[in-house]
Amino acid sequence: MYVNRHYHIWSTVRWSKKPLLNALLYSAAIIVLYEITDIPFSLPWQPISVIGIAVAFYLGFKNNSSYDRAWEARKIWGAIVNDSRSLAIGILSLASNQVPFEWKKNFIFQHIGWVMALKHTMRKGKTWEHNSKIENLVFTPYFREEGLKGMEAELVKYLSSEAIQKLKGLTNIPIQLLKAQSLELKKLEESGGITEYKHVWLQQLIARLIDNQGASERIKNFPFPRQYASTGLFINYIFCALIPFGLLDIFAQSESLHYWLTVPFSTIIIWIFFLVDRIGDYSENPFESAYNDVPISSISRVIEIDLLEMLEEKDVPKPYPVENGFLM
How many angstroms from the chain centroid is the CA of residue 147? 15
Least separation, in Å, of the C-beta of 328 and a copy of itself?
13
Amino acid (one-letter) located at 128? W
Task: Identify the CA nearest to 60 among candidates 243, 238, 224, 276.
Answer: 276
**By CB under 8 A, is residue 134 in contact with a copy of itself?**
no
Which range binds a copy of itself by CB under 8 A, 24-32, 62-70, 112-120, 155-163? 62-70
The CA distances from residue 146 to 134, 163, 305, 306, in Å, are 10, 21, 17, 20
Q: How far is the CB of 36 from a copy of itself (least distance, A)?
A: 16
> Per CB under 8 A, does 54 bind a copy of itself?
yes
Among 14, 17, 25, 60, binds a copy of itself (CB under 8 A): 60
Does residue 24 touch a copy of itself according to CB under 8 A?
no
Tell me whether residue 283 or residue 300 sits nearer to a copy of itself (CB atom).
283
Measured in degrees and rounded to the nearest 5, phi and psi for residue 66 equal: -60, -45
SS3 159: coil
Q: How far is the CB of 122 from a copy of itself (least distance, A)?
A: 15
Q: Given candidates 93, 135, 138, 314, which one binds a copy of itself under the rule CB under 8 A?
A: 93
Among the listed residues 176, 168, 125, 174, the one whose alpha carbon sits nearest the alpha carbon of residue 147: 125
- We find the least distance from the C-beta atom of residue 27 to a copy of itself, in angstroms, to be 12
Q: Which of residues 202-261 bind a copy of itself (CB under 8 A)?
A: 203-207, 210-211, 213-215, 217-218, 222-223, 225-231, 233-235, 238, 243, 246-247, 250-252, 254, 256-257, 261
Task: Please select the residue that binds a copy of itself; options are 35, 78, 132, 153, rule is CB under 8 A.
Answer: 78
- What Å distances lie between residue 29 and 24, 44, 106, 110, 250, CA to CA? 8, 19, 68, 62, 18
Q: Is 156 strand, coil or helix?
A: helix
Q: How many C-beta atoms lie closer than 10 Å to residue 178's C-beta?
A: 20
Q: Can you tell me the distance from the alpha carbon of 164 to that of 160, in angstroms, rounded to the nearest whole number? A: 6
Q: Which of 44, 141, 150, 192 binds a copy of itself (CB under 8 A)?
A: 44
Q: How far is the CB of 56 from a copy of itself (least distance, A)?
A: 5
One-letter identity of residue 130: H
Q: 100 to 129, contacts with a copy of itself by CB under 8 A?
A: 126-129
19 is a site residue for a copy of itself (CB under 8 A): no
Longest dimension (CA), the chain: 93
Report the residue count for the chain.
328
User: Which stretch in 18-26, 37-45, 116-124, 146-154 sits in contact with a copy of itself by CB under 8 A?
Assistant: 37-45
Cα(215)–Cα(221) distance, integer angstroms:
10
Residue of 1, 24, 28, 163 that binds a copy of itself (CB under 8 A)? 1
Q: What is the footprint of a copy of itself within residues 261-290 (CB under 8 A)?
A: 261, 265, 268-269, 272-273, 275-276, 279, 282-283
> Smaller CB distance to a copy of itself: residue 145 or 309?
309
CA distance 71 to 51: 30
Show Cβ contacts of residue 2 under 8 Å, excluding neighbours closer than 6 positions. Answer: 291, 292, 325, 326
Binding to a copy of itself in span 147-206, by CB under 8 A: 170-172, 175-176, 178-179, 182-183, 185-186, 190, 195-198, 200-201, 203-206
Kindly state the number of chain residues that form the binding site for a copy of itself, as judged by CB under 8 A: 124
